[in-house]
Structure 1
């Protein structure tokens, strides 16, 4: 897959989402959005379905618990149903972007797909009627033995139709997408109806043909929706893993395994060992809860207050809008479920402002991408990463949150240094104060921070995470009554509607990640890979961590953070832990680099989302966002060498390692930007790298070496700096 096709896929997926969100009235003007919300039968129907999807989750989480399997299947099925009705198919390459005119082939494919799916639905209905109405445990033989093949075949044909004939007129439902939505109802209804029995026979010889065909249909639907919403990268990775489950007997070395027949594999993969495992468990609870919370903040404009406050406080400073992006993206990113989603949410405001003060489009997009990516490691929400880590490791949620505080702060400090040094190097100024919101006025509205305050207080007070998110959501609605944008019935409806639309991509990618995790569990490749990792590292923890970093970044390319971490943790965490690395350190290390993959070329989803907003080249934007976040790549090694950075130590040790780490990150940022009390030559930059890296270990000797190098370089730079350099530096201060 070439870089250009990667970029096209990511851009297509992102623009697809943005266009549908725009049509769904998810815009910066909630009032105008409300006025258009009920225009047209299609929009009204979709809005009602989205609200029902959100309300269902809130009721199950807070009021009426549902059996776990049925709930998770409903979560996946509802997400697929809405996804196919909302997001049309997209072509594979730019050359196919115009699509093909519908003709005889298109109609023939639709007829075949429709016949197969309708027959499958009839079979599922017969099974349900026989069991629920007639009270018979054994359904009709024809339904159990033959309904699945037409259902699966019809689904595959409908997917093929979408590839060949992308539907461009989104003012009405595409016939192929309606058929895929119907196939979702059939497959998921069967799996829910037989949920308890399926748990007992999944992956076993007694699995029924209906189990297999429903699971195959579900996997096809998940993979296709992931392709539409997240591009090809994750789909290809999942495809490789599925193929591996069948090709094992013919593979060499550690990759060899006995192989699995189709019935056992697919009935196993649609259990809590696979699709319904940890990623979907988190997606169906914490992720949807906090995505809806973010939708409440958007609809009530409380989220807009965060951005305005950042502009008022830092907009006038050197490179001010870029610094605003760091603050606003960190605040919103800890709630949003994806880095790319955070870019879209805050970048629509910060990117135009950055361009206005002189940043190039690709630099504006790169800064926003780097800042938004950091939101995924910012406590207390961490883009749902903390919840997944707690689920996988058994470590308490609050322990993970505490440990992540200093590394997250270091990340944002490093990005701040990068932005400030870049602005200083070119003499960039901030925005005029008369173009910025008034800080004094905004401070009088500080009560708008109450939803975040309530959330953090409730978390640290020991309430359940679901209760905390619900309380924060209610607080956002109540606080809005103190503003002109008070939340009434229409605004509430819109927030619930938007929350469902915003979570659909995460439902798809978490389900696909579950497929990969299921293959890893079934074949045992994770433990064997860990064995190889141990052998290659030869008992060296640092070498094992380096391999873990590489694997995490590669797996994370093209995958949202939640999916990337879940897969990487399953494959490499056991090996790293077996070498003696503490489980919390190992998982935070892997999670950190899975997050960083969002700005690592060639497939950097956060950078691609930013480039779409800025109108810049996706690949160049991803390279620049990687450069902006480069200094932060040493932070995980810092907390490996110094557990005090994870708040494990005395207050003095924690203070010592935090200060020296900030100093080391600053030196590395200066090296990357080529500015250290004036322009830095290649030799000075090399010395800065050495000085910064010596601060990683956190020892007194290495700290003294790094400090000595820095002092020597200060003297050198002060001596060789020209008056012109100093003048440019002073001109760029802009209140910084």
Structure 2
């Protein structure tokens, strides 16, 4: 896919006026199936129904409430919480196995025809035990509804659950996963093995909904839990991990696998890693509850994240994303190094909504990266700017790529408090990137883009009403509406404002938006469920508490050392993972230890969240940087190093939270304003020092060191340090103006790349 994007991007001609189109198009992954005809209609309907189900459930809609007609088997709303989350995960698995193959398609004809391979016949045979397990799950539900008291310890019931339900389910699940790896199919066909896995997902959901609807829910994690719950959880865990591998790669799977192994070998490990001996039945009977998979990560994905994915899909269907990028070009394209500054604004806006750094790089970078190269940026710098800007969208309020909602769920802190606290850190991050690219453009002597190369600003202003859905979202949230109600209103507003554009949303467009939302949600739901496995291991083994004790011991020597250690662990846990999963895992492992150090809960979680986000541009595993390198044609590792340099302020700002709470709006207005102003000046000096550009000219190496020292003084937030920073800056300015020390030769060489 990256080669295709690269070739398409190189065709852009900046000599003509730029009119952005296609930013809203969904990229097609290498293992994504492409259907046509009736197959497409069926899959589109499933996807749209799945997305609309969440809107209905979250807003309490039901056909019976509206019409007074009761239709059997349709869910009534509001649904019981656990049942809703189980259906949420199962639906994503079914849709995911339908849309995503176990391996990439090398060409359109990869794989064989139906029933022409022995593995296809074997898979068809294995569908029978999967169907049988579904039958048994419904039979158990029927027995319980008829008044049978289910006893998890009864030999009769154990036999039914082990040999008639659990064993067929486990065999079918394992075989489906293995055959899916081995047996390829054509891109427009659903593999029989994936149909088998979808049936297994249904079986898991039916059984767990049945059992959790009885007193058996209270027995999870105890010897009295029915063995069937453990067996269903084993199959469900395997299905979630396989789906995550297909849509998000191996990084999260490897980490989850390590944690799962730890459950069963923790009693053999020394020191703080030592854990109690946990029986597999006890662990799996509890991991598929709100202590694990159905816990905070799935709670957020089933409510806030899916709702804002639907919102983003409506914005895509109404072509608002194209307008965002065109507006950014019209507003910032004339500045020197214009495309890089456009990338900052456009990627920040888009990344705030779509919730994935790498996905945002692909969406906007295919346009901005080649334009940056054409105006003079080195290819690695062009990719690095896009990666850093797209990553910054995850920390930009009010949506913050859904991170704010996960933080609110985990901490219990009101969402509005989190969104307000994120304002200054987000400003610091984007201001820093702006200075970095501006100084790079100054060193290279770049021009801005010509008037005839850009969309007309006055035309963009006439359509500024397209920002109305986001404005409505913000206003509704701060008026006290629930996040669900505010998100629903904003989604409706996106459809309404489209009627003032050529892309009016009718029934067909709305159905297409729901279809897009269902497809877009698969990755994040699978990732959140997989992160829930890790969260479950942490809570059930107590490793999080033991990690907290390690941080406390480090803090006895140095609090700064403890924070540095927490930073490293947060980045390490986040490497190769989407933001939401990275934060959820780091919040379970690192944040409790920081709170025990005496750090306020909001500060501790923001500290962890920032480093989980910037793991996307941190070498050696930097997903956003790698995606950008695929478009720019640069070396991925060089691009990730350049991204790290451009986003350097994001590695310093979290330490500011600890030393100066006013950065998170914790203080009087005078303290907050002074902290924000001095920190902005500090990141300006930091950018000057890193880039070697100050007072309109390149500077010597010792001047760069002085600028970085002055920046750290300004960023620290104390009155004395602010005065020292200002004094040092004045001194450096005087030295540069009076003596003009020879510029660092390395800067000049790099500037000519």
- CA distance in 1 between partners of 2:743 and 2:228 (Å): 77
Alignment of 1:517-556 (within 5 A): 517-538=535-556, 540-556=558-574
| Residues 1:690 and 2:712 are matched in the alignment | no
Pick closer, same or farther for the CA change 1:273–1:332 going to 2, 3 Å.
same
Match of residue 186 from structure 1: 203
Determine the C-alpha separation between the residues in 1 that align with 2:290 and 2:129. Answer: 29
Provide the secondary structure at the position in 2 that maps to 1:334: helix
Q: How far apart, CA to CA, are the structure 2 residues paired with 1:520 and 1:680?
A: 50
- Aligned pair partner of 1:261 in 272, 279, 300: 279
1:84-121: per-residue Cα shift (whole Å, max 9, x none)? 111111279x9x99999898664475356434433333
Q: 1:25-79: CA deviations, max 9, x gaps?
A: x965889x9xxx9941221111100100111000011123110000000110001
1:56 aligns with 2:44: no
* 2:37 aligned partner: 40
1:571-610 equivalent positions in 2, closer than 5 A? 571-610=589-628
**TM-score (structure 2 length as normaliser):** 0.88
**Structure 2 SS opposite 1:275:** coil
Larger deviation, residues 42-51 vs 536-545 = 536-545
Pair 1:706-2:690 in alignment: no
Say which is worse superposed, 287-296 or 571-580, in terms of deviation: 571-580
From 348, 362, 366, give the equivalent of 2:384: 366
Q: Deviations over 1:209-229 (max 9, x none)?
A: 211111101000100111111
Cα distance in structure 1, aligned partners of 2:122 and 2:172: 9
- Aligned-partner SS, 1:43: helix
C-alpha separation in 2, matches of 1:439 and 1:581: 46
Q: Deviations over 1:316-364 (max 9, x none)?
A: 2111111111111222222222222322333233223323323333322
Cα deviation for residue 721 of structure 1 reads 5.2
Aligned twin of 2:440: 422
1:511 aligns with 2:529: yes
Distance verdict in 2 for CA 1:38–1:262, change over 3 Å:
closer
Report the alpha carbon displacement of residue 130 of structure 1 after superposing the two structures with TM.
4.2
8 Å CA contact 2:383, 2:631 repeated in 1: yes
After the TM superposition, which of the residue ranges 187-196 and 588-597 deviates more from structure 2?
187-196
Q: Match for residue 133 of structure 2?
A: 120
Deviation track 1:555-605 (CA, whole Å, cap 9, x = no partner) reads 110111111111111112222112211111111111111111111111112
Partner of 2:222: 204
Aligned to 1:274: 292
Q: From the superposition, tell whether residues 620 and 164 of structure 1 become closer, same or farther in structure 2 (CA, over 3 Å).
A: farther
Specify the alignment match of 2:352 in structure 1. Answer: 334
* Contact kept? 2:469, 2:491, Cα under 8 Å: yes
Q: Which residue of 2 aligns with 1:251?
A: 269
Aligned residue number for residue 73 of structure 2: none
Q: Is structure 2 residue 321 aligned with structure 1 residue 303?
A: yes
Conserved in 2, the CA contact under 8 Å of 1:109 and 1:157?
Answer: no
> Quick one: which of 93, 102, 118 aligns to 1:80?
93
Q: Please show how residues 49-448 of structure 1 align to structure 2 within 5 Å.
A: 49-63=46-60, 64-90=77-103, 106-107=119-120, 110=123, 113-131=126-144, 136=148, 141=157, 143-146=160-163, 147-167=165-185, 169-197=186-214, 198-448=216-466
Once the two structures are TM-superposed, the CA of residue 667 in structure 1 deviates from its matched residue by 1.5
Contact 1:667 1:688 in 2 (8 A): yes
CA contact (8 A) 1:299 1:494 kept: yes
How far apart are residue 258 of structure 1 and its match?
A: 2.1
- Greater Cα shift, 318-327 or 105-114: 105-114
- The reply on whether 1:561 has 2:543 as its aligned counterpart is no
The 8 Å contact of residues 24 and 322 in structure 2, kept in 1 or not, is answered as no
1:441 to partner: Cα distance: 1.1
Pair 206,97 (structure 1): closer, same or farther in 2 beyond 3 Å: farther
Alpha-carbon contact 2:97-2:197 (below 8 Å) kept: yes
Which residues of structure 1 form unaligned runs of 5+? Answer: 1-9, 16-25
* Greater mean deviation of Cα atoms: 350-359 or 260-269: 350-359
- Judge conservation of contact 1:694–1:702 (CA < 8 Å) in 2: yes
Contact 2:23 2:363 (8 Å CA) reproduced: no
1:19 aligned partner: none
Given that 1:112 and 1:157 are in contact with CA atoms closer than 8 Å, whether structure 2 keeps it comes out as no
Residue 688 of structure 2 aligns to a residue whose secondary structure is helix
Q: Structure 1 CA distance, aligned partners of 2:112 and 2:699?
A: 58
Mark the CA change 1:532 to 1:686 in structure 2 (over 3 Å): closer, same or farther.
same
Could you list the per-position Cα deviations for residues 680-724 of structure 1 after superposition, in whole angstroms to 9, with x for gaps in the alignment? 332222222212112222122212222222223223333565999
Paired residues of 1:541 and 1:576 also in contact (CA < 8 A)? no
Aligned partners of 1:241 and 1:61: how far apart in 2? 33
**Aligned residues, how many?**
701
When residues 143 and 364 of structure 1 are mapped into structure 2, their CA distance, relative to the original with a 3 A threshold, is farther
2:354 alignment partner, SS class: coil
Higher mean alpha-carbon deviation, 357-366 vs 453-462, is at 357-366
Distance change >3 Å, CA 29–CA 551, structure 1 → 2? closer
**What's the Cα RMSD here?**
3.0
Structure 1 residues 579, 220: CA separation in 2 closer, same or farther (over 3 Å shift)? same
Cα distance in structure 1, aligned partners of 2:414 and 2:568: 27
TM-score by length of 1: 0.90
The Cα of 1:379 is off from its aligned counterpart by 1.1
Of 468, 471, 480, which residue of structure 1 is paired with 2:489?
Answer: 471
